[in-house]
């Protein structure tokens, strides 16, 4: 995560620098989203991003533990499903 910070002199904001925080997501974030607060056989959190015309899964899935950054599905919605 990068957070810029500025000085403010009157109406002008001058960039002063940035704070860069590095974190290994596999140490805290991914384990956090893999847990669910209540027992469930189907609930899970999905992190996805659009990659061209596909949706790319960023995290491993409950029933696809090797899917992170490999599993992708088309993001094209069939015409009969569009609102």
pLDDT at 37 over 70: yes
CB-CB contact of 68 with 33 (8 Å)? no
Token pair recorded at residue 73? 């599905």
pLDDT at 78: 64
pLDDT band at 36 (very low <50, low <70, confident <90, very high): confident
Q: Residue 12 has what pLDDT?
A: 84
Which pTM does this prediction carry?
A: 0.62
Instruction: Note the pLDDT tens digit of each residue in 62-81.
Output: 889 899 999 999 987 665 65
- Structure tokens that stand for 31 in this block: 């384990």
User: Which of 30, 32, 29, 6 lies closest to 18 in space, CA to CA?
Assistant: 6
Does residue 21 register a pLDDT over 80?
yes
């Amino acid at each position: 995560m990068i957070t810029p910070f500025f000085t403010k002199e009157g109406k002008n904001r001058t960039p002063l620098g940035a704070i860069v925080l590095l974190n290994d997501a596999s140490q805290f974030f991914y384990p956090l989203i893999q847990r669910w607060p209540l027992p469930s056989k189907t609930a899970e959190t999905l992190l996805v991003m659009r990659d061209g015309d596909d949706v790319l899964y960023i995290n491993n899935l409950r029933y696809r533990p090797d899917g992170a950054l490999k599993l992708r599905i088309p993001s094209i919605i069939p015409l009969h499903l569009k609102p």
